[in-house]
Chain A
C-alpha cells in the first residue's frame, strides 16, 4: 500500500486553494505515459458506452458452424469478424467491446463504493480518535488478516455468483485499505495548528471535517483508490473466471478468458484477447494513478 503523504506537505486550504489543481493538471498533461494511458482508457470507455450504436454484431448470438475463427475471418456473406469468433461462434470484437462495459463497471464501482465508505470510516476514526478509532480500526484489521483474493472468493462463494454479489464482495475487500489511508492522513491533519485554530475559534467538529480535513484527506485517498481500480478489475475477472462472478452469456473479460482457455491450442491469438484487454486496462489504470500521484506531490 502507498504510504500517505507526510503531514508536512499538506498546506492549509487558504494558501493552496488557488492554483494547486491547475498545477496538478499542468504536471499531469506533461506526463506522456499517463496521458497515453488516459487516451487508451478514454477510447475503451467511449467504445463501451457507445457499444450498441457502433454497428457491431450481436454479442449474444453465434453460430456453431463459425466457431473459433481466426482474426480477420470473413464469412461467405461478406461479414468480417475483425477479431475472430469465440467458442460459440460469436463475434469477438462485439463481445470484447460489450465486455468492457461490465469489466470496467466491476473495476470502478466497487472502488467508488469503497472510497465513500472507507473514507468516511477512516476520517471518523482519525478525527474522533480514542475508543472510536480503536473500534473501527481493529475491526478493519480483522479483514486485513485475509489476502484480498481469498477474501473476495470466500465472500462470493458464500453469497453465490452474480454481478451484485461480486460488487459487494469487492467493496468489502477494498474498504479496509482505503479506510486505513484515510485514517492515517486524518490523524496527522488533526494535529496541525490550523485545526487547533479552527477549534479555538469555535468551529464544530462537522465544520472542521468538512472545511479542513476533507480537502486534505480526499486527494491522497483518491490517488490511492485509482490504483485499486486495476486490482478490482483483475479480482472481478478472477471471480468470473472461477465461475463466481458474472454468469453466462454476459460478455465479461474474465469469463471469456475461462471459456476460451481450452482453445489456446487451436486459436491462441483469439483465446488471448480477453487476457490482453485485462492486462492493458489494468496497467493503464496503474500508470495513470502513478502519474496522478506524481502530479499531486508538490515536493516534485
Chain B
C-alpha cells in the first residue's frame, strides 16, 4: 500500500517535471481594444483585431512577412503558394494552394474552402453568408467579386476591374473552416436557415477553427481570449514556442501600465509615452519600430474650404514643428514627410520638401492673402482617443500653437472616436462634418489602396470610400488607374511612386507623424522581433 502511494507520488512528480521541461510558458498580453476583437475569422477593432485574433488563429491566401525588424514588411505566400493574373483577361487570377494544410478541427484546407470563405462575405444568397463580416472585409478588398474552383488545389478569383492590388488585399481575408461551421450549423437552433446560420457563426466565434499557428482554447467575451500552440502547424519553422497566449482588453493606457508593473500581464500594447521612462526604470523592455501608419489632417477640397488653395495646404505642412511633436510623445513617433518615408519604393522624390519652416509658411500665407491682422480660421474634426490616433488632444493642441505662428486660427471640434470614424465615410459635405475644413483620422499605409487610392481617386469620394475631402483631380485618377492596372511589381511601384510624389507636391494632407507601435514587456519575454508593420508574429516569442 505504502509502496503504491510512493510510486503514485513519484509518477505525479515525474509527469510534472516532464510538463515543465516542454513548457515554454504562457504570455499574457494587454491589448488597447475595449473588447476582444471578433474571433470568427474577420476581426473588427481595426488592425489590432487582425494582429491578435486574425493572424495568430488564421491564415490568408497571402500573408505579411513579419520576420525582420529591418526589412520592409512585404506580401509573401500564405495558404497560396503562387498566383498569377490571366494575361488575356486581367480581371482573372489563378491561385495555387498549399497542399497538406489542415484546419484546427482536422478537416482539410482546399479550393472548396477558399470558395466558401470568399462567399461568406460576397455571395448574399450563400447559406453561410454573414452580413456582419462584410463591413470589415469587403472594404479592404473592394474589387474582388467571386471565386471558382479549378481543381482541389487551384482557384480562380475574379475582380470587377483589372486590379494589381488584389494579392495585397487578400491578406485581410482569413480562412475559416467550412467543415467545422457546417457541424455547428447542423447543431444550431433557429426558426429558419438564416437564423441558424447566424447562430452557427456565434457558435463558431466561441469555438473557432482556422489554420493558424495558435488554436482557440478559451473565450470569455469582453474579458479574455486564450489561444494554445498548434503543434501541427503547416509551417514547421513557425510552430509557436509558447504553450499559450492570453489576451486581455484594456483600453486605458494607465491601466495597462499598472497591469504590467503589478505583474498582472507580461506585455502591454501602446504604453503612455510619459510612462515609458518609469517602465524602463523598472526593467521593462520597450520595443518600437516605424509602422506604415500616418497621423494626418486630411484636407477638404469642397467649395469654400480655405484648404482648396494649395499655398494654404503647403503653408500648414511647413508650420508644424515635428521635432517638438516627437518630444511631446517622448520620442515615440517618426516625423512624416509624406504617406511613406523617403527611401520607400513608393516615395518618388516629390519636389515639395515637408519640413519645419515657419518663414516660408508665412510667405505662402501672405501670398494667399492672410496675415497677422487677418488670420485664417480653420476647423478641424478630431477625437479624444481611438485606435491609432496616438494622443490626439495634446498633439492637436501643439499644432494649434504652432499654426498660430503662421496666421492660422485653429478651432478643434472634438467628437467621439466611433462617430469620427463614421463621419470619415460621410465626407466633408455631409452635415456631420459640421463645416470642418480637415479631419484628423489616422490611416494604415502598407497597401496602395489604403495608403493612396482611397483618398486620391475621385471615384472613392463618399459614400464609396474615404476620399473625405472630395479630391477631384483627373491627374490623380489617371495615376491611380495606371497603378491598379500595372501587374509587374517594379512597374507598379514606379506608378505608385509617381502618385505619391504628386500627392506630396499637391500637399493633399497635412502629414504629421508615423506611429512606431510602442509596446512594453517584462524581461522574461524573449525572442520577439518587432517588424515594420501593424502586425506581429507571436510564434517566435517564448517566456523565460
Contacts and interface: CB of A to CB of B under 8 A. Distances in A.
Partners in one complex: yes
Interface of A: 60-62, 64-65, 67-68, 87-88, 157, 160-161, 242-244, 247-249, 255, 258-259, 261-267
Nearest to A156: B416
A88 B397 contact: yes
A255 B384 CA distance: 10
Contact of B385 (A87, A160, A243, A264): A243
Contact of A262 (B272, B321, B412, B419): B272
A266 B401 contact: no
A60 B401 contact: yes
Max chain B C-beta neighbours (<10 A), residue from A65, A248, A255, A263: A248
Interface of B is mostly: helix
Nearest to A246: B414
Interface stretch (B229-237, B274-282, B499-507): B274-282
Contacts of B275: 262, 264-266
Nearest to A87: B394
B413 A88 contact: no
B394 A88 contact: yes
A74 B420 CA distance: 41
A185 to B, nearest CB: 40
Contacts of A255: 393
Contacts of A87: 274, 328, 394
A62 B328 CA distance: 12
In the A-B complex, the 6 residue pairs with the smallest Cβ-Cβ separation, listed nearest first, are A243-B384, A262-B272, A64-B324, A265-B275, A265-B278, A243-B414
Interface string B377-413: 0000001110000010110111011000000000111
A248 B277 contact: no
Contacts of B257: 265
B254 interface: yes
Contacts of A258: 384, 393
Given A87-B328, A87-B394, A258-B393, A266 B277 contact: yes
B327 to A, nearest CB: 5
Max chain A C-beta neighbours (<10 A), residue from B324, B413, B419: B324
A87 to B, nearest CB: 5
17 contacts: A60-B401, A64-B321, A64-B327, A67-B328, A88-B394, A88-B397, A243-B384, A243-B385, A248-B400, A248-B414, A249-B401, A262-B253, A262-B254, A263-B272, A265-B279, A266-B275, A266-B277
A88 B398 contact: yes
Given A247-B413, A262-B253, A266-B274, A62 B384 contact: no
A259 B393 contact: yes
Bin the interface of chain B by size: 20 to 34
A77 B493 CA distance: 53
A46 B412 CA distance: 30
B524 interface: no
Nearest to A65: B327
Nearest to A157: B416
Interface in B440-489: none
Max chain B C-beta neighbours (<10 A), residue from A160, A255, A258, A262: A262
Given A87-B274, A242-B384, A258-B393, 19 more contacts: A61-B401, A62-B401, A67-B327, A88-B401, A157-B419, A243-B384, A243-B385, A243-B416, A248-B397, A249-B401, A255-B393, A259-B397, A262-B254, A263-B274, A264-B254, A265-B254, A265-B257, A265-B277, A266-B277
B434 interface: yes
Contact of B328 (A88, A243, A248): A88
Max chain A C-beta neighbours (<10 A), residue from B383, B385, B397, B411: B397
B74 interface: no
Nearest to A153: B416
A72 B420 CA distance: 40
Interface string B486-522: 0000000000000000000000000000000000000
B274 A262 contact: yes
Nearest to B398: A88
Nearest to A243: B384
A259 B257 CA distance: 17
A60 B398 CA distance: 10
B375 to A, nearest CB: 15
Given A262-B273, A265-B272, A161 B413 contact: yes
A242 to B, nearest CB: 7
